[in-house]
Amino acid sequence: MLVPASSLKPRQGLIRMVFTARLLGSSLGFLALVAWIPAAIAQSAETPAPEPTTLDSRLETLESPLPEALQQLLDRQISAANAQDLETVMATYHPEFKHEDGLSLDQMQEATADLWGKHENLNYEIAVKSWENRGPDLVATLVTEVEGRQKSARGSFRMSGLQEVRNHYRPNPENPDELLLLEQEVIRESYTLTSGEAPPTVTMKLPDIVETGSTYALEAIVEEPLRNNVVLGTVIEEQITAERYLQDSSYPLEPLQAGGLFRTADAPKQPGKEWISVMLVSQGGITLESRRITVTDQLILDN
């Protein structure tokens, strides 16, 4: 449970909004994001990965050529996503598709339709970080960046998201030369929503992976000097489940006594995934940051 590093402050106000930015990756099984990842937690291999090259389709891949079936699938998916062609996107899923968050195919379709109904001019860019053959199947680590605007009764929010996933592909039973998405694991993700002419600029420090039962720290630092300005903020944690994808999130706000939010948290005693979200509200606008953390019972070694 997240608590202030010093002491609890009175909570004031309540904002409810549909934080559908988190759907940007998981509702479209092929999406993945990398640019947010700090160098320290990027690939730890001794030999650096080759630089990606940009293709005409806005798909990025490694210098070594991708298998033709994977390249065709990703080209089709990114083109369909940028055109908001739901039927084509869903046709790239295997009938036995599984998502680590428990999303079914029907829930994926519902989430994607809801996402596109709330966002304008979404633009996706994809990169392939690595891939390997596993018998007739193929496993690839993808990274994706997405930007757009979220339509809301409270105005328009600018949105950007970064996510990394590990996708497991299997040949189409009806067309063995074609790959379909069979399974997806989300490695890490982060999303940002901003509104207003001068929303708070936030630097968020949060581990991607924590051990069960351990204590970890969260810092959300406001870069602008507070001076005499009043800034409200809050941080919430949510267990990731399929049902949470289409639910509202509550943000009880409190006045900041310093230049940001500083919390300590006890990780759950059971392995799982959580969203940690921070909202900051100033006279200039609103900033909402959300990150996924993995809670594991395996030993975490420092790099």
Establish whether domains 2-19+193-296 and 29-187 are of one fold. Answer: no
Beta bridge partners of 124: 146
Domain boundaries, the chain: 2-19+193-296, 29-187
The single residue listed with the structure tokens 């990780």 is 267
pLDDT at 96: 93
| pTM summary value | 0.75
The CB density around residue 154, as the number of other CB atoms within 10 Å, is 9
pLDDT in tens, 91-145: 999 999 999 888 889 988 888 888 888 887 889 889 999 999 999 999 999 999 9
Percentage of the chain exceeding pLDDT 70: 73
Nearby residues of 179 by Cβ (< 8 Å), 6 or more positions away: 69, 70, 72, 73, 138, 169, 170, 171, 172
Under the phi-then-psi rule, with left for phi > 0, alpha for psi from -120 to 50, and beta for the rest, what region is 89? alpha
pLDDT at 249: 56
Percentage of the chain exceeding pLDDT 90: 40
Please tell me the least confidently modeled range out of 62-71, 110-119, 180-189, 234-243. Answer: 234-243
Cα 18–Cα 20–Cα 25 angle in degrees, nearest 5: 165
Task: Please give the distance of CA 117 from its chain centroid, rounded to a whole number.
Answer: 19
What DSSP string runs through 262-299?
Answer: EEEEEPPSS-EEEEEEEEEEETTEEEEEEEEEEEESSP
The pLDDT of 64-70, averaged and rounded, is 88
pLDDT in tens, 22-65: 444 444 443 322 222 222 222 222 333 333 333 334 455 565 68
29-187 CATH, one of 3.90.1150.10, 3.40.50.620, 3.30.70.3270, 3.10.450.50: 3.10.450.50
Which of the four pLDDT bands, split at 50, 70 and 90, describes residue 152? Answer: low
Do 36 and 292 touch, CB atoms closer than 8 A?
no
Closest to 144 (Cα-Cα) out of 174, 180, 184: 184
Checking if the pLDDT of 168 tops 70, the result is yes
Phi, psi of 174, deg, nearest 5: -90, -15
Which of the four pLDDT bands, split at 50, 70 and 90, describes residue 90? Answer: very high
Q: Give the homologous superfamily in CATH for domain 2-19+193-296.
A: Macroglobulin (MG2) domain (2.60.40.1930)
Greater confidence, 7 or 153?
A: 153
